Amino acid sequence: MKIKEGTLLNVNHIRSGKWVGIATRDFDTDNEPLYPIALAQLKPVDGLITKARWVKGDNMPCRKTLCIIQVREFANGH
């Protein structure tokens, strides 16, 4: 699936749970093992295994094998 920069995404991650992210650049889920997604929600996200805490705007560790993403809102209304 091709994702454009600025697209809002629902992310269901095995280690960090469910959260809303935003694509930080164009990418293709078929070709990239790590997705370029930043946290887009106000509520912070805590890591399950590490003691990490991410806040809005932080780049999220988002490995293809550990998460499922769904488009929430396309960039620029497309």
Instruction: Find residue 4's DSSP bridge partners.
Output: none
Under 8 Å CB-to-CB from 50, ≥6 apart: which residues?
none
pLDDT tens-place values along the chain, 78 residues long: 999 999 999 999 998 899 999 999 999 999 999 999 999 999 999 887 777 899 999 999 899 999 999 999 877 655
Return the closest-CA partner of residue 21 out of 63, 62, 52, 50. 62
Domains, the chain, with CATH or none:
2-77 (2.30.30)
Give dist(CA 9, CA 49) in Å, integer: 23
Give dist(CA 51, CA 8) in Å, integer: 26
Give dist(CA 39, CA 66) in Å, integer: 16
